[in-house]
Structure 1
Amino acid sequence: MPKYVIEREMPGAGNLSPEQLHEAAQTSCGVLFELGPQIQWVHSYVTDDKLYCIYNAPDEAAIIQHAKQAGFPANKISRVRAIIDPTTSEV
């Protein structure tokens, strides 16, 4: 299944409390449950003013549908074409 990075512009995201992050995660998971197993949230990175979310999804439309239903922005959606890490340098 294709993997995507979703950039969500959320000013002040880095100041969200653990409780607020918990609520956001619950909202996301509730919508994912409604949409079915074809879309999966892997994890997210919270920075000062953005979230970078990693999702497995059949297409960009599924990501947009999730964002709309959850009430989250999806300012940029990028399909991951490859994944590399330090082991990529090994022979």
Structure 2
Amino acid sequence: MPQFVVERNIPGLGKMDKETLKAISAKSNAVVAGLGEPYSWITSYVTGDKMYCVHEAESAETVYRHAREGGFPADRVTEITTLIGPHTGR
């Protein structure tokens, strides 16, 4: 299944407490469960006022749907075409 990087601009994100982040995560999980199609939230990285998430879905439109239904911004959704890391150079 395709993977996508989702860029979210959320002012003050890096200063949110653990309970707020837990509530946001719970909402995302609930939306994923209600989509009625294959979808996986893999991980997210919080950096100041931005969050970068990796999701698996059939299409970018499904990722945007998840964002709309959850009330989350999805400023940019980009399909991951290749994964590289330290192992790539060996």
Instruction: Give the alignment's TM-score, normalised by structure 2.
Output: 0.97
Aligned positions, number: 90
| Unaligned segments of structure 1, at least 5 residues | none
Q: How far apart are the structure 2 equivalents of 1:64 and 1:78?
A: 11
Moved over 4 A (4+): none
Match for 1:3: what amino acid?
Q
- RMSD of aligned C-alpha atoms? 0.8
CA distances 1:45-80 after superposition (whole Å, capped 9, x unpaired): 011001101000100110011000000000001100
2:44 maps to 44
Q: How far apart are the structure 2 equivalents of 1:69 and 1:27?
A: 10
Instruction: Give the alignment's TM-score, normalised by structure 1.
Output: 0.96
Alignment of 1:65-76 (within 5 A): 65-76=65-76
Q: How far apart are the structure 2 equivalents of 1:17 and 1:2?
A: 32
Q: How far apart are the structure 2 equivalents of 1:13 and 1:37?
A: 29
1:30 maps to 30
Overall identity of the aligned pairs, in %: 37
- Is the deviation greater in 67-76 or in 37-46? 37-46
| Unaligned segments of structure 2, at least 5 residues | none
